[in-house]
Amino acid sequence: MLNLQDSSLEKELFFRNVYDNVEYIIFVIEVCQNGEFRWAGWNAAAERATGLSSSYVEGKTPEEWAGVAEGTVIRQRIIHCLSTKAPFTYEECLTFHTQKSWWQTTLKPLQDDSGNIYQLIGTTLNITALKLAEQSLQESEYRFQQLFEQAADPILLLDAKGFVDCNQAAINLFGFSSKGQLCSLHLAQVSPQFQPDGQMSLHKINKAVEQAVDKGSYKYEWIFQRQGDQNFWTEVTLTLIPYKQESILHCVVRDISERKATQMAIEQKSQELEQALQDLQQAQLQIIQNEKMSALGNLVAGVAHEINNPIGFIAASLEQVKPVMADITEHLKLYQNSLPNPDQQILKHAQEIDLDYALKDVPEIIDSMLIACERLKNISISLRTFSRADQDYKVPFNLSEGIDSTLLILKHRLKGNHKCPVIQVITEYGELPKVECYPGKLNQVFMNILANAIDALEESNSQESFGNGTKAKQIVVKTSVENNYAKISIADTGKGMSEEVKQKIFNHLFTTKAVGKGTGLGLAIARQIVEEKHGGEITVNSTPGRGSEFVITLPI
């Protein structure tokens, strides 16, 4: 029991470590059956960024932890995500400890097998610095338009022929030494031939000018080219203004290379967050299943260890007692022969203890006890084989021993009960060499498939009518070598499965069992172990009403 608790604690600590040590903010929103939304908590990164503990927000609605005003907006975002059933990214302003901050948040809905959304996984990134920078740029734009020569931003005046004038910032931006050098050119001449979308710069400039003339102002992003053919990102604002009795375009050029780099960094971080979330979900699935198998492994290993020592002692003691009892019996017979007429007290006592029967039966009892000890020893060996921990590297392993040890663990389920008659297991082992593998992982695969086969047989028995209930309940396990691959076939005579179920049987969270009886993880993890860990393959053959066969192939 202690080993089981320790294992569960270790797995829980591992999951918490992954969740809390991701540098990105992750939070979970529970979608309650009554339509309410409550925070399930958030990770350590969120606690550091907000100054609020996960326990503070746990169980609270948006309005309860963020206030009515901001909480109402958050609620609207959640409702939108639920209505679309798709990931939703947006920017929001939140207040923590009287300080306002900007965040780029993504909500991702999680659905159950029925398509109902039961949780939202949220990730967010603090973009306050970017927002403040954008706000600063917007506030300075008007100032730059009014103050031409004194402006810090590059400003150019242009007509249909090209640049009419520019300020020193523009000269510096494009890498020229004088105003005359820049003003003798056209916008297209300080741009690469093509823009990132593949359009020619000259054509796009003409379209931008048309937009500015038609609307009075036009803002767009553009790649210019400095002296030396160095490309850089800018934000260009074209404004139609009167100038010297004619209309020209007031062109403000801002170098947004850093902002673009920040945006690309944000996009990269978002992708990393998405990957981290997927990795986290995958780790969660692995932890759930591995925890169960680890607990079982620890349990049987503990049982094997606890029974091995006393059984060894008993067997050794019996081996010593056996010749001693033979000597005592022989010695007693010598007494009987030397005293052919014992007194009545001796005869009465011999009759009371049934001496003749004891002398005959005790050696047989000792032999039976030794046989039982040998059987217990074999069981202990099988338990240790099943529960063996994997190394960091593959080791040679007898697959037949792994299957036998797994069948031993499941032996109690093969006996007849009210759900199902006795399940017959037929093993047909070929001449397999030892296979380089992770034995514990493969035992987990065998356990999942064999347990599913037993479940299928029990379920098929419950669905059969009395007249059809005589169908044999069998599991057939075969091993062989084909084309330098070890082949393991595990077949049952259950109800089989449809083509639709076959296509989904290895998917994560897919299960055909009733609620609470299946997690949808066993076969998904079995495929991962066989294919990713061992470079093998696992397939299923099944026809409704004729049972199912799982085939595992492993490179030798």
Q: What is the DSSP string of 331-348?
A: HHHHHHHH-SS--HHHHH
DSSP element (H, E) containing 326: helix 257-338
Residue whose token pair is 């036998």: 404
Q: Count CB neighbours of 458 within 10 A.
A: 17
CB of 475 closer than 8 Å to CB of 486: no
Cα separation, 46 vs 23, in Å, equals 9
CB of 92 closer than 8 Å to CB of 103: yes
Residue 147's pLDDT is 72
Cα separation, 379 vs 537, in Å, equals 31
Q: Which residues pair with 243 in a beta bridge?
A: 246
Residue 433's pLDDT is 93
Residue 277's pLDDT is 78
Residue whose token pair is 């074999």: 378
Residue 17's pLDDT is 72
Q: Which residues pair with 219 in a beta bridge?
A: 237
Give, as one character, the DSSP assignment of residue 161: S
Own/partner pairs, 221-228, CB within 8 angstroms, 24+ separation: 221/256, 222/191, 222/195, 223/191, 223/192, 223/195, 223/196, 224/173, 224/174, 224/190, 224/191, 224/253, 225/190, 225/191, 225/192, 226/173, 226/174, 226/175, 226/190, 227/174, 227/175, 227/176, 228/175
- For 346-400, what is each residue's pLDDT tens digit? 778 777 777 777 777 778 777 777 776 776 776 666 666 665 555 567 889 999 9
Give, as one character, the DSSP assignment of residue 483: T
What one-character-per-residue DSSP string does 74-86 give?
A: HHHHHHHHHHHTS
Nearest to 438 by CA among 393, 407, 489: 393
Token pair belonging to 506: 């290895």
CA distances to 154, 445, 520 from 525, in Å? 59, 8, 9
With 0-12 / 13-18 / 19 or more C-beta atoms within 10 angstroms meaning exposed / middle / buried, residue 463 is exposed
Q: How far is C-alpha 74 from the chain's CA centre?
A: 28
The amino acid at 70: E
CA distances to 333, 356, 358, 372 from 361, in Å? 15, 9, 5, 16
Residue 117's pLDDT is 95
Residue 122's pLDDT is 95
Phi-psi region at 162: left, alpha or beta (left = phi > 0; alpha = psi -120 to 50): left
Which stretches of the chain drop beneath a pLDDT of 70?
1-12, 14-16, 18-19, 141-146, 243-244, 281-282, 285-306, 308, 372, 375, 378-392, 419, 463-471, 509-510, 512-520
Residue 76's pLDDT is 96
CB of 537 closer than 8 Å to CB of 552: yes
Quote the strand ranges of 319-420, DSSP E.
395-397
Residue 4's pLDDT is 47
Cα separation, 255 vs 253, in Å, equals 7
